[in-house]
Amino acid sequence: MQRKLPVLVIAGLAAMATGFAAKKPKPAPAATLTAPKTPQMTEDQKALHALNRLTFGPRPGDLDQVKQMGVDKWIEQQLQPETIPENPILEAKLEPLDTLRMNTAEMLQKYPSQQMIKAMSEGKLPLPQDKEARAAAQTAIMRYQQRQKVQAAAAAVPTTPQVGDIAIGDMQMKIQTPPPAPRAAANARVTAQTLDGLPLDPDQKQALITGTQESLIALLESLPDDKLVDVLEALPPQTRQRLAAAGSPALQRRVEVLNTPGQIVNRDLSEGKLLRAVYTNRQLDEVLTDFWFNHFNIYLDKGADRNMVTAYERDVIRPHVLGKFKDLLLATAESPAMLFYLDNWESAGSDAPGPVRPAAANGKKQGLNENYGRELMELHTLGVDGGYTQQDVTEVARCFTGWTIRQPQQGGGFFFNPRMHDRGEKHVLGITIPAGGGQNDGLKVLDILAKHASTARFISKSLAIRFVSDEPSDDLIDKMAATFTQTDGDLREVMRTMLGSDEFWAPASFRAKLKSPLEMVVSAVRAVNGDVNTATQMVQLMNTLGEPLYRKQEPTGYTNRGGDWLNSASLLARMNFANSLAQGKVAGVKVDMTQFSADTAQIEHNILLTDASPASKSAIQAGLDEAPQKPVQVGPLVAGLTMGSPDFQRR
């Protein structure tokens, strides 16, 4: 019986989701810049529809705010995020995540890469000057050296069967497996010797040795920064971790820096994304940042990109999401993160004057790399059916030879290296680019692509898929593409055309798209007004749901089609998350349980902000009926079932 509960809810969701493609809204002839008066959609539905499509989901009070302001005025405000004061709660929560404010070089100085740790271990690079960064680097060096010893010991052991007899001719030989190397104590105790030399008085030292967990945490959090770093460094890593788990976010951060310095950059990036999605007042800006990052996707775990993604999202994507498309295209083309991800930084022309650089580490001869040229046309501009050929891919790649990075492993920036550039004449999409153009060859290509009719349609269709329908009409795409062309790729104006269309406001569009895992998780936290202390478990959940943040390896990015996210494993994980959140069991997220003290219908309405559909009511009631036993508190169960219902899973 216990396993039947989520199955019933998932079955209801699957039944509702199968008709997504069939429920394509019918296009209407004219588009305006304000929401048309659609009789079939009430004013409340319009306000809720705007919140569901243009934000990561409404929080309590958002619907009333939009209705009071007026849907059109609220949308216009969201289209101008620079006019919206940011949420001070968000700013306070982002403050400890210092890497979000660093450039790549600064980041590597404080949180060195594995390559830099290796160089420090070998004495080829100095340790960081900052006290905390130095302590973190020393921890990383110690772990690196331990790994090297383990690998060396493993390499020294002959490759033989582990245990048993082997026959060589008529002889029998007994093979003995060497005993495993002794392991360090899993959780060394804090002793007087451990604390010897620390800037603490006798009472403080005694408290660290014999005190309770609460008293230890209070002591650590009372220490000034310089003393705290010294004390934490002296404690065994397991002890640090145990104390941090029950301490304040500031203490947790200090321990994370010392215990796992190599994970800080990625952790900040993912936590920052979730915190912004949950708390920002500039919701449409954040939704568009997610959209355009996926459009110009890069993969976090590819080499030097581990330390480049932060600046890429902050300085390349975010500032341009409502600007001119050509500016966004140029910013991505010159981004070290993109150049590294698609290998263009190593691409050299066959007639490049050279010598360009030492041979690649893998010994391969450097030459022309077509990765960026292909993805630039297929995924970034024209689309796969945009009218280009394989020869165009090669010619575009030639134009971008020499667009490279200065010392990528040390956070270097973009520069054009003429000694890598193919100086010959090129022909792109029927246009001749004269020889000897240098960096202007690439700039010319970007100009051609940004103004191409196929680009106008491809970008318009991609936006319409994200915001309107999995299968937007040609009529809507044509209108958006016309605006794109007439305004020289003004993305704000393209959004206005889309948001003023009858198709966006058609009744069939209301709650017609399945949420992505990111949208589902964040909208659930927002729906119950969750207070996110740490987003670590939410980040892990994104992995389980199939959308690990910044880790889509393919350049396609994550899909904008809701139907693509429909699979039983993901839906089961969504249901489990919804129930855990409603019961306050998601680590790092605090939920006020008193909001679930109302009757079933009111709880449903508070979360959905409208009456539940018959399908959702049936699924929720089935979940209540099939529960193995009546819980002491029905409210949290109702809330979890509501967030797992077909209505909430769609936007």
Q: Which of 31-45, 88-102, 451-465, 600-614 has the lowest mean pLDDT?
A: 31-45
* Number of domain units in the chain: 3
Going by pLDDT thresholds of 50, 70 and 90, the confidence category of residue 198 is confident
Residues facing residue 590 across a β-bridge? 531
pLDDT tens for each residue of 535-579: 999 999 999 999 999 999 999 999 999 999 988 778 889 999 999
Is the predicted pLDDT of residue 360 greater than 60, yes or no? no
Residue 382 lies in a domain: yes
More confident residue, 229 or 78: 78
Of 632 and 308, more confident: 308
- Residues 230, 287 share a domain: no
Can you tell me the mean pLDDT for 150-172? 55
In a domain? residue 596? yes
Residue 328: predicted pLDDT: 98
Mean pLDDT of 131-145: 79
Q: How confident is the model at residue 131 (pLDDT cuts 50, 70, 90)?
A: confident
pLDDT classification of 179: cutoffs 50, 70, 90: very low
Query: Of residues 185 and 346, which shows the higher confidence score?
Result: 346
pLDDT for 522: 98
Q: What is the pLDDT of residue 276?
A: 98
State both tokens at 427: 């022909």
Which sign, positive or negative, has the C-alpha torsion 254, 111, 106, 97?
Answer: negative
**What DSSP string runs through 20-32?**
TGGGPPPP-S---
**Per-residue CA distances from 584 to 529, 588, 636 (Å):** 12, 9, 9
Looking at the fold, whether 383 and 300 belong to one and the same domain comes out as yes
Categorize the per-residue pLDDT at 28 as very low, low, confident or very high, splitting at 50, 70 and 90: very low
> Contact 519/570 with Cβ under 8 angstroms?
no
CA distance 457 to 376: 15
For residue 493, is it within any domain? no
For residue 404, how far is the Cα from the chain centroid?
Answer: 25
Residue 477 within a domain = no
pLDDT exceeds 60 at position 170: no
pLDDT at 17: 46
Structural tokens at position 619: 């699924």
Lowest mean per-residue pLDDT among 96-100, 154-158, 433-437, 450-454: 154-158
Burial class of residue 647 in the structure, from the number of CB atoms within 10 Å of its CB (0-12 exposed, 13-18 middle, 19+ buried): buried
Q: Is 355 helix (H, G, I), strand (E, B) or coil?
A: coil
Q: Is the same domain home to 532 and 580?
A: yes
Query: Does residue 297 register a pLDDT over 80?
Result: yes
Q: Comparing 110 with 32, which gets the higher pLDDT? A: 110
Average pLDDT, the chain: 86
Q: State the pLDDT at residue 231.
A: 84
How big is the CA angle at 571 (ends 568 and 577), to the nearest 5 degrees?
145
Higher pLDDT, 605 or 631: 605
pLDDT at position 158, please? Answer: 63
Question: Taking residues 113-133, what's their average pLDDT?
Answer: 84
- If pLDDT is split at 50, 70 and 90, which confidence band does 201 have? confident
Give the Cα separation of 264 and 241 in Å (integer).
15
381 shares a domain with 521:
no
CB 219 within 8 A of CB 196: no
Same domain? 341 vs 425: yes
What pLDDT, on the 0 to 100 scale, is given for residue 333? Answer: 98
On whether both 272 and 290 belong to a single domain, the answer is no
Least confident of 127-131, 483-487, 543-547, 596-600: 127-131
Task: Quote the CA–CA distance of 465 and 472 in Å, as a whole number.
Answer: 6
373 and 423 share a domain? yes
| 312-350 per-position pLDDT tens digit | 999 999 999 999 999 999 999 999 999 999 999 999 998
Whether residue 225 is found in the same domain as residue 296: no
User: 451, 476, 492: which is the final residue of a domain?
Assistant: 451
pLDDT score at 15:
46
Closest of 415, 421, 432 to residue 351, by C-alpha? 421
Structure tokens of 214? 């609460």
100 pLDDT higher than 90: yes
* Confidence band, pLDDT 50/70/90 cuts, at residue 159: low
Regarding whether 309 and 261 lie in a shared domain, the answer is no
Q: Give 12's pLDDT tier (boundaries 50, 70, 90).
A: very low
Q: Is 179 contained in some domain?
A: no
Which amino acid does the sequence have at 647?
Answer: D
Output the pLDDT for position 38.
41
Please tell me the predicted confidence (pLDDT) of residue 114.
Answer: 80
pLDDT band at 514 (very low <50, low <70, confident <90, very high): very high
Q: What is residue 23's DSSP assignment?
A: G
Q: Residue 178: how many CB atoms within 10 A of its CB?
A: 11
For residue 30, pLDDT beyond 50? no
- The burial of 167, by beta-carbon neighbours within 10 Å (0-12 exposed, 13-18 middle, 19 or more buried), is given as exposed
Of 244, 278, 312, the last residue of a domain is 278
> Of the ranges 183-197, 291-305, 432-446, 574-588, which one carries the lowest mean pLDDT score?
183-197
- Report residue 521's pLDDT band, with 50, 70 and 90 as the boundaries: very high
Does 441 have pLDDT greater than 70? Answer: yes
Query: Percent of the chain scored above 70 by pLDDT?
Result: 86
State which of 100-114, 369-383, 570-584 shows the largest mean pLDDT.
Answer: 369-383
For residues 301 and 304, give the distance between their C-alpha atoms in angstroms, rounded to a whole number. Answer: 8
- Which of 254, 278, 302 marks a domain boundary? 278
Whether residue 85 has pLDDT greater than 80 = yes
What average pLDDT does the segment 102-110 reach?
90
Q: Give the pLDDT score at 6.
A: 47
Q: What is the pLDDT of residue 234?
A: 81
Give the span between the Cα atoms of 558 and 550, in whole angstroms: 10
Q: Residue 457 falls within a domain, yes or no?
A: no
Q: How many CB atoms lie within 10 A of CB 311?
A: 22
What is the distance, to the nearest Å, from the Cα of residue 192 to the centroid of all Cα atoms in its chain?
A: 44
- Per the domain annotation, does 504 fall within a domain? no
Domain contains 366: yes
Q: Which residues form the domain of 620?
A: 1-20+513-651
The answer, yes or no, to whether residue 33 has pLDDT greater than 50, is no
Same domain, 287 and 355: yes
pLDDT value of residue 146 = 77
Tell me the per-residue pLDDT of 374-406, one tens digit each, with 9 for 90 and over: 999 999 999 999 999 999 999 999 999 999 999
Cβ atoms of residues 5 and 627 within 8 Å = yes
Higher pLDDT, 219 or 133: 219
Q: What is the CA 241 to chain-centroid distance, rounded? A: 25
The reply to whether 204 and 292 lie within a common domain is no
Residue with tokens 């451990």: 194
The pLDDT value given to residue 630:
62
**pLDDT band, very low/low/confident/very high, at 36 (cuts 50, 70, 90):** very low
Q: Is the pLDDT of residue 440 over 80?
A: yes
Rounded to a whole number of angstroms, the distance between the first and last alpha carbons of the chain is: 30
Going by C-alpha positions, the residue among 246, 236, 229 that lies closest to residue 189 is 236
Question: Are residue 538 and residue 631 in the same domain, yes or no?
Answer: yes
Asked if pLDDT for residue 426 goes beyond 60, the answer is yes
Say whether 426 sits in a helix, a strand or coil.
Answer: strand
**What six digits make up the tokens of 488?**
């020289």
pLDDT value for 140: 80
472 vs 114, more confident: 472
Average pLDDT of the residues in 450-463: 98
Reported as a pLDDT band with limits 50, 70 and 90, residue 141 is: confident
Task: Give the per-residue pLDDT at 354.
Answer: 63
